[in-house]
Structure formats: structure tokens, C-alpha cells
Amino acid sequence: MVIQTFRTVQDMRTQVAAWKATGLRVGLVPTMGNLHAGHIALVKAALAQTDRVITTIFVNPTQFGANEDLDSYPKTEKSDSAKVADAGGHAMFMPSSADMYPAGFSTRVIVDGLTDCLCGAARPGHMDGVSQVVTKLLNQAHADVAFFGEKDWQQLTVIKRLARDLDIETEICGVPTVRDAYGLALSSRNGYLNAEEVDIARKLNVILKKAAYDIAAGGFAIDECMKAAKALMKAGFSGVDYVECRDADTLELLDRSEGRSCRIFAAVHVGPARLIDNHLVN
């Protein structure tokens, strides 16, 4: 099946306007491509709530830092389009960097208080790049609902806040993390790992779940997070950027859960990959 593909903003907007003129609800699934089952879960969630679904593929250069994997990030447009078509998606939006960031582009989108911690601190400028590109995609598509995975909870929180603050009418919907049979959160970067490294990566979920349980049971978050970080290094991870317990809505750093909605977050390194995950504490 050949799926409808938009290369320009105007072509996408024209089709979205035509769909909406007949009363159809439009869903948007922003991605960087190299799609896996987690992305397809977003497409299926969109199909369950809307009538037409557009999946975007754009490897956004502004969210990559120096010495990160921008140049080597897999480009798999043909297979990605086939996967979306097989799932029932209706269209793809695949803009060029020149279209997204034309000569003279100089606007930044910064969400104070949510982008300077976790991955925002570990990867300076990363969350600002995410905020920038997602704001553009939301404004370009004029979708009714946009779908994002909960694996990157910080990203989801930032996007919800910017949509509210900037009066963007698109509803932001989080979709639960998809995991393999051993609990490893699916990620495009899992493909960088060999078999031994995958076995190590699968320990992240186990260690985080234990720390979340111990915090919910009354443990001091800073102590349990330190224990988890040591356990991760002992399990074979080559580095730990952070293990932290934070408020699920404000991302405020917490020492005790005390009945609040909070999550434990981690970013780790194994082999050539940097992986993130998070779990609900209580």
C-alpha cells in the first residue's frame, strides 16, 4: 500500500483542512523515524481517537548536541512508511531541514522550569530543540490531537506546558511506554546494542521498579536513587547521567513521595547508546 506523503507544510495543511471540512478529527504522531513497535502504538492510539492520522518523520538537528548521533541516526523512510500504512495510518509528513529551518530562522522556544533538569541538564539545549520543533509541527498540522510516548516523560510534560502556555488548540495525549518481554522500553537506539548490551539494558527497568517501590514504601528518594545508580553501574552500564525522583507534573525534585504523584527517572549509557526510562512511584 502506498501511503499519502506530504513534503511541504502547505500540502499537509490543504489536506487537513479538507478532512476537517467534512467533520473528520485529525491525529498527529511526531517522530524522528526509524520506527518500532512503540511508535506504531502511538499510531494505533491515534487511530482509536481520531479519523485521520498523520505520522511525521523529521530528524531534528536542533535537539542533538555536539558529539551526539545526528549524522549516524538511521534514515528509514521507506520501511517507516510501510509500517505506518500496515497499521492503518493515513499519511506521512516528511519535511526537509531547509523547509523546517529556512535561512534566517532565529526563533527559540524555551519552557522555563521544565527544560533545565533531567535530559535538559545532561544534554544542554536538547529540550529547547524539542520544544522548538514540536511547536512548529503543532502549528503546521493544526491537528485535533497529538500523541507522544510516556517513555520520555519530561518531553511529554514540556509539550503539554508549551501547548497550554501558547494557546495551541491541539490536545496533547500521552501513550504508555511499550516494552519488550523483559521490560526494556522500546527505543530506536536499542538497535545500536549487541546481544550482551541488550541483556544489560534490560536491567534498567528492574532496578528502577525496585527503587520506585522502595520510595513508595517510605524510603528517602535521594537514598534510593543513589542505591539505584550504584546498582546500575554494578549491572554493567558504562555511565549514569541521573537517577532522580520528581513530581510527575512540575518535575520538582522530591525527597519523599508522601502521597504525591511522582516518578523516578533515569538516563544511562550502555555500549554506544544512551537510554532513558521512568516509572510511576505511587
Nearest alpha carbon to residue 175 among 60, 31, 67: 31
Instruction: Say how far apart CA 245 and CA 41 lie, in whole Å.
Output: 27
In the chain, what is the straight-line distance between the N-terminal and C-terminal CA atoms, in Å?
44
How many CB atoms are located within 10 Å of the residue 23 CB?
7
User: Which single residue is written with the C-alpha cell 545508580?
Assistant: 229
Exposed (0-12), middle (13-18) or buried (19+): which is 253, by Cβ within 10 Å? middle
User: Which single residue is written with the C-alpha cell 550504584?
Assistant: 230
Catalytic-residue membership of 269: no
Instruction: Say how far apart CA 244 and CA 235 lie, in whole Å.
Output: 18
User: Distances in Å between the alpha carbon of 65 and those of 121, 136, 218, 237, 275?
Assistant: 12, 20, 38, 21, 16
- Put the strands of the sheet holding 171-175 in their side by side order: 4-6, 91-93, 52-57, 26-31, 145-149, 171-175
Q: Which of 39, 90, 126, 279 is catalytic?
A: 39
Task: Show which residues are catalytic.
Answer: 39
